[in-house]
Amino acid sequence: MERGKGFTLIELLVVVSIISLLSSIALASLNAARTKAGIAKAKQDMAAFIKAVAIAQGESSKLLMTMSSNGGSTVPNCSLCVASCSGDLRGSTGICYTNWVAVLNGVQSNTNGIVTGLANMSRDPWGSPYLVDENQGEGGNCTASDTIYSVGPDGASGGGDDVASPITIPLSPKCP
């Protein structure tokens, strides 16, 4: 019998397995790069928010807690909100999300039009709301810092992948 010039089944299986191995390595690298990009975006959003808070404090002479009404009767004390933010927050519209939206709206409205577009930061890159703990002014304490953080890719607070947890927001010099 005359042998053809084609490939054997073994040779084809070896090539397919090498291609699948290389593609799995490429996908793992892609996922790592995607996570790093999300972390960079979250840090950028939080830095922009902190700058907006500084502008709002300068324009309104108010504490973050007062601007967002989270220290008042509209939403319960924000530290309680952060403490109650458990489980997967991705896509949630509960108190953690409504608190964050109230903070964004309060900060933006207190900048006298200098800062716009904060509504674009309604969620972190993974779909969770950013968490803000408004401490300055609670119980008359002017030295307690406000903080912000992202719950990270897993969508759960304290899951070990929280992004820059927590970033301190500079104190307002206007604390009574």
* Among candidate residues 53, 102, 55, the one with its CA nearest the CA of residue 77: 102
| pTM of the predicted model as reported, rounded to 2 decimal places | 0.76
Give the model's pLDDT for residue 135. Answer: 83
Q: Report the C-alpha gap between 73 and 53 in whole angstroms.
A: 21
Q: Could you state, in chain order, the average pLDDT of each consecutive group of 10 residues for the chain (176 residues)?
A: 77 95 92 91 92 90 79 42 69 84 90 87 90 83 86 82 79 76
Sign for the pseudo-dihedral over CA of 55, 60, 66, 70: negative
CATH numbers and ranges of domains, the chain: 43-169 (3.30.700)
Q: What is the pLDDT of residue 117?
A: 87
Write down the pLDDT at residue 176. Answer: 66
- Amino acid 12: pLDDT: 93
* Cα(102)–Cα(82) distance, integer angstroms: 14
What are the backbone dihedrals phi and psi of residue 8, each rounded to the nearest 5 degrees, phi first? -85, 165
